Amino acid sequence: MRRFALIALIVLPVPAAAEWTVLSGEEIRAALTGRTLAYESATQDFRASGKTLYVTNGRDSWGNWRIEDDRYCSQWPPSDLWACYAMDRQGNVLRFVGERDDITEAIYAD
């Protein structure tokens, strides 16, 4: 008499690596307004007024921020020049992408 063993192979879905989502201007505004981000060695607070506070090594630096053409833009006195970045999101991680593809990542600190 033959005996057969039934082997069931259960394949569970493996989560794909989370992909980055490109943010629109309104999504950037919602992601930043009233929030604080933590970078490798600094934090940045984004006020609804358009002011932003960057703190590194206990030093405060006040600047300005706005949304322009689906990009985050910032300006740091005494300079009057604005630098703009595309923004992506992956869960709680935000990525600022510069015009030369320089990338800075941050997570929510609040």
Domain ranges of the chain: 23-108
The pair phi, psi for residue 86, each rounded to 5°, is -70, 155
Query: Thinking of the domain 23-108, which architecture would CATH place it in?
Result: Beta Barrel (2.40)
Nearest-angstrom CA–CA distance, 42 and 106: 9
Confidence of residue 23 (pLDDT cuts 50, 70, 90): very high
**Which pLDDT belongs to residue 11?**
42
**Which pLDDT belongs to residue 5?**
38
- 10 pLDDT more than 50: no
What's the pLDDT tens digit per position in 44-99?
999 999 999 999 999 999 999 999 999 999 999 999 999 999 999 999 999 999 99
Nearest-angstrom CA–CA distance, 18 and 90: 7
Full-prediction pTM beyond 0.85?
no
In 3D, which of 71, 70, 88 has the Cα closest to residue 18? 88
63 in Cβ contact with 55 (< 8 Å): no
